Structures are given as C-alpha cells and as structure tokens.
C-alpha cells in the first residue's frame, strides 16, 4: 500500500511542486488548502504532469472543528507536510494579527488533530528568515536564531518553537523542519509556478512580471550594502530541488533514524548571488532587456544570506541539482505560459 500523506497548502507554490514530487515517488497525496492564495486549477495541471489528480479538501485550518474533521474522515494518514500559511512579508507588517492567527492557529490545529488521530510524522515548511541577520556565513543549522524582522518571519520562528515543545511532550512524534533560503524557478513543464497575489514582494516574480510588461520597472532596493556590488546577496534555490528534499525528509522520517525528534535542515544551494547578478543572469538567459532602477533600501533586508547545506547532504542525501540559469529559464517559461494562457 502507498504511504498516504496530507499536504496542507498543497495548491500553493512550493506545495504544488511537492505534490508532484510525491506522486512521482509513488505516495498518495491528500491536499488541504483554503485556496486563499492559490487556485484549484493547479489540480488539473498536476494531473497533466503526473497522470493523477490529487484529492483536495477545501478547508480553513484556522477553524479547529474543520481541521479535526479533515483528519477524522481521512484515515490511515502516514505523515503531514505543513505548508499552509500566509507569506507576504510587507502585508504581515501591516496585519500582524492576521498573520499570527492564520499561521499559528493552523499549525496548532493541525498538530492537535494529528495527536488525536495518532499521526506521528510531521514536516514543517520553515524559512531562513529565522536566522535574522546572521553573524557568520555560510549559515549552519547550529547558528543561533534571532527574532525575524517581520511578523511573517516571526510566525516561522514561533512555529518551530511550538513544534519543539510538542515533540518534547510527545516522544512518539517525529518532526523535520526545512529552512528554505530563496525559492524561485518553476516546474520544467512550464505549467506550474509561483502566482503571487497582487504586486509581488519577491525578486524573481517581480523581474518576470516586469519583463513580460505587467510592471513598469523593477526597483532594486539599495546598492550601498557591504557586498561586492552593493546589492544584497541571497541563496536562490530551484523549487523543484526543494520539492525533492521533502521526499527525502519523508524517507528519513519513515526510516526511523534520527538524531533528535525535531531535526532541522537548511535548503539552499550554498551559493550566493547579488540582486544585480540575478538581473544580469536573467537578461543573458532570456535575452530580455529588463527595466530597473536603484532606489532606497527596503526595511528589514539583510546584506547577505547563504546556506551551509552539508547537513541536508550528509543526512538526507540531498543536494540541489539546478543552478541559477535553470531557475531563471524555468521562471520565465512559467511567466510566458501563464501570460499566454490568460490571453487565450
Ligand atoms: N529585491 C529588490 N526588488 C524587489 C524585490 C526584491 O531589489 O522588487 C531584493 C531584496 O531587497 C533582496 C532580494 O531582492 O535583497 C531578495 O528579496 P526577496 O523578497 O525575493 O527575498 P527575501 O530574501 O527578502 O526573502
């Protein structure tokens, strides 16, 4: 029998790519998603890519009654991968309570339902934002965490602390927290990718939307950082590589090997690129001229963030396979596909 996995937020950007990876590795997937920042159409595209249309429970996990029901009526779940969360940094600064309520209540309700129905394997979608402005680079999992700059980031840090308390109280529960650096790129088919609501916060969707003509110009937030060209450095990671890491994390959990009940892994390439390097690479790979302007710094940006990924490599057997050019060409392919599809 196939292992049956619940993926919360499985219609979203990283969730949908992970659903594809799991189906391709012969897992059965049930998605829980409230579709607040995603679209049901993704299920048809997953079917086109994998031949399987996963089951969707359109449920808001903030509601503890609905969360419990989802687990009550879907039996024999082997593990839960929890993506469901709001993720827009600037919106979280404007609406902190909405972020704390949504991201933390959904997490707590999911863990409570898992406890009630004796589901003991949990993977959490975390972020490098928990490192704040790191004192040493590349960042290891053993680096101290700091209070993140945004309520969004703080929900990730608080979520890890909640999970840590829960695994201490319940020795049967095994959890893995995956700290993503900067996920970009899209599925190689061009049919699935990032679909930001409104004006994008993140660099790559802003670049592709500018190049396709949806935005006037890209603002580069500051060029006076202590980096080689003055713009901040990030560790960009292909979303398909990231999705594969979830499969390996599940295998690790099912193998029963562990160092701790909550294990933490960085997921990045280990390579840092500046904003200007990304822009240059984009222009080279896509042959598109990008309209951009250097402006003021954005609040909360740190100069440099890049990962040491030895732990994921040694323990999960994971390493990113795709480089910046693949990430860019797949992001661009997705933007063009989506643009054409909307026109037709
Ligand atoms: N950035 C930018 N213009 C934008 C969006 C992002 O210059 O419109 C820069 C941002 O200042 C940061 C980098 O791109 O240095 C990556 O930002 P993103 O929001 O994608 O990810 P973050 O690292 O902040 O999570």
DSSP β-ladder status, 182-184 and 262-267: unpaired
Residue 115 lies in a domain: yes
Residue 222 lies in a domain: no
CA distance 274 to 279: 9
Q: Which residue's CA is the nearest one to ligand 1's atom 19?
A: 202
Of the candidates 23, 315, 335, which has an alpha carbon nearest to the alpha carbon of residue 141?
315
Domain count, the chain: 1
Specify the pLDDT at position 344: 65
Give the structural domain span for 261: 4-185+236-269+306-321
Question: What average pLDDT does the segment 299-308 reach?
Answer: 95
- Return the SS3 of 280: helix
CA distance 31 to 14: 13
Using the atom order of ligand 1, give the atom closest to the CA of residue 275. 14
Residues annotated as catalytic are: 152
In this structure, are residues 232 and 133 in contact, taking their beta carbons and an 8 Å threshold?
no
Of the candidate ranges 135-144, 192-201, 272-281, the one whose mean pLDDT is the lowest: 192-201
Residue 63 lies in a domain: yes
Q: Which residue's CA is the nearest one to ligand 1's atom 11?
A: 221
Q: Which residue's CA is the nearest one to ligand 1's atom 14?
A: 203
**pLDDT tens track for 10-40:** 999 999 999 999 999 999 999 999 999 999 9
CA distance 290 to 279: 8
Q: How confident is the model at residue 341 (pLDDT cuts 50, 70, 90)?
A: confident
Using the atom order of ligand 1, give the atom closest to the CA of residue 184. 20
Residue 76 has pLDDT above 80, yes or no: yes
Residue 342 has pLDDT above 80, yes or no: no
Mean of all residue pLDDT scores within the chain: 96
Protein residues whose CB sits closer than 6 Å to any atom of ligand 1? 182, 201-203, 206, 218-221, 232, 234, 275, 298, 301
Cα 182 to middle of ligand 1, angstroms: 9
Residue 343 has pLDDT above 80, yes or no: no
**pLDDT tens track for 141-161:** 999 999 999 999 999 999 999
Which residue of 13, 202, 299 sits with most ligand 1 atoms within 8 Å of its CB, as the best mutation to test the pocket?
A: 202
CA distance 88 to 65: 27
Of the candidate ranges 65-69, 316-320, 335-339, the one whose mean pLDDT is the lowest: 335-339
Beta bridge partners of 5: 29, 79
DSSP code per residue over 87-135: --HHHHHH-HHHHIIIIIHHHHHHHHHHHHTT--EEEEEEEGGGG-S-S
Task: Work out the angle at residue 123's Cα, subtended by the Cα atoms of residues 161 and 165, and round it to the nearest 5 degrees.
Answer: 25
Give me the CATH number covering residue 44.
Answer: 3.40.50.720
Q: How many CA atoms lie within 13 A of 264 on its CB side?
A: 23
Of the candidates 150, 173, 180, 177, which has an alpha carbon nearest to the alpha carbon of residue 161?
177
Specify the pLDDT at position 4: 98
Cα 219 to middle of ligand 1, angstroms: 10
Q: Which residue's CA is the nearest one to ligand 1's atom 3?
A: 220
Residue 146 lies in a domain: yes
Using the atom order of ligand 1, give the atom closest to the CA of residue 302. 15
Residue 225 lies in a domain: no
Using the atom order of ligand 1, give the atom closest to the CA of residue 231. 15
Which two three-digit tokens encode residue 275? Answer: 């904003």
Using the structure block, give the residue that is written with the tokens 């280990």: 270
Residue 145 lies in a domain: yes
Using the atom order of ligand 1, give the atom closest to the CA of residue 220. 7
Cα 274 to middle of ligand 1, angstroms: 10
Of the candidate ranges 133-142, 196-205, 323-332, the one whose mean pLDDT is the lowest: 196-205
**CA dihedral sign, ordered 242, 245, 250, 256:** negative
**pLDDT tens track for 260-274:** 999 999 999 999 999
Question: What average pLDDT does the segment 190-219 reach?
Answer: 95
Which residue of 234, 272, 303 sits with most ligand 1 atoms within 8 Å of its CB, as the best mutation to test the pocket?
A: 234
Which residue of 139, 152, 196, 221 sits with most ligand 1 atoms within 8 Å of its CB, as the best mutation to test the pocket?
A: 221
Alpha helix locations (H) across the chain?
13-24, 42-50, 64-72, 89-94, 96-99, 105-116, 151-169, 203-212, 239-255, 275-286, 310-311, 324-343
Of the candidates 302, 239, 314, 316, which has an alpha carbon nearest to the alpha carbon of residue 272?
302
């Amino acid at each position: 029998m196939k292992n049956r996995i619940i993926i919360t937020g499985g219609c979203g950007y990283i969730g949908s790519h992970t659903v594809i990876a799991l189906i391709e590795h012969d897992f059965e997937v049930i998605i829980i998603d409230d579709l607040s920042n995603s679209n049901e159409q993704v299920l048809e595209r997953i079917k086109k890519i994998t031949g399987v249309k996963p089951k969707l429970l359109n449920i808001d996990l903030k509601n503890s009654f609905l969360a419990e029901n989802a687990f009550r009526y879907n039996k024999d779940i082997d593990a839960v991968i929890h993506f469901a969360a709001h993720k827009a940094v600037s919106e979280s600064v404007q609406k902190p309570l909405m972020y704390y309520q949504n991201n933390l209540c959904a997490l707590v309700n999911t863990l409570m339902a898992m406890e009630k129905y004796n589901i003991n394997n949990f993977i959490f979608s975390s972020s490098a934002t928990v490192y704040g402005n790191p004192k040493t680079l590349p960042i290891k999992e053993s680096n101290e965490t700091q209070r993140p700059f945004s309520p969004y980031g703080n929900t990730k840090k608080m979520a890890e602390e909640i999970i840590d308390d829960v695994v201490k109280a319940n020795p049967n529960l095994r959890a893995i927290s995956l700290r993503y650096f900067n996920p970009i790129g899209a599925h190689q088919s061009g049919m699935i990718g990032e679909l930001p609501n409104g004006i994008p916060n993140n660099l790559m969707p802003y670049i592709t939307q500018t190049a396709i003509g949806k935005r006037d110009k890209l603002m580069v937030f500051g060029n006076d950082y202590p980096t080689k060209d003055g713009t901040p450095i990030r560790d960009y990671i292909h979303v398909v590589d990231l999705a594969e890491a979830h499969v390996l994390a599940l295998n690790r959990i099912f193998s029963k090997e562990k160092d701790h009940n909550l294990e933490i892994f960085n997921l990045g390439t280990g390579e840092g690129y500046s904003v200007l390097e990304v822009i240059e690479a984009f222009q080279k790979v896509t042959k598109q001229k990008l309209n951009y302007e250097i402006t003021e710094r954005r609040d909360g940006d740190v100069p440099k963030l890049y990962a040491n990924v030895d732990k994921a490599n040694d323990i999960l057997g994971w390493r990113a396979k795709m480089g910046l050019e693949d990430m860019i060409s797949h992001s661009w392919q997705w933007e063009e596909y989506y643009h054409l599809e909307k026109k037709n």
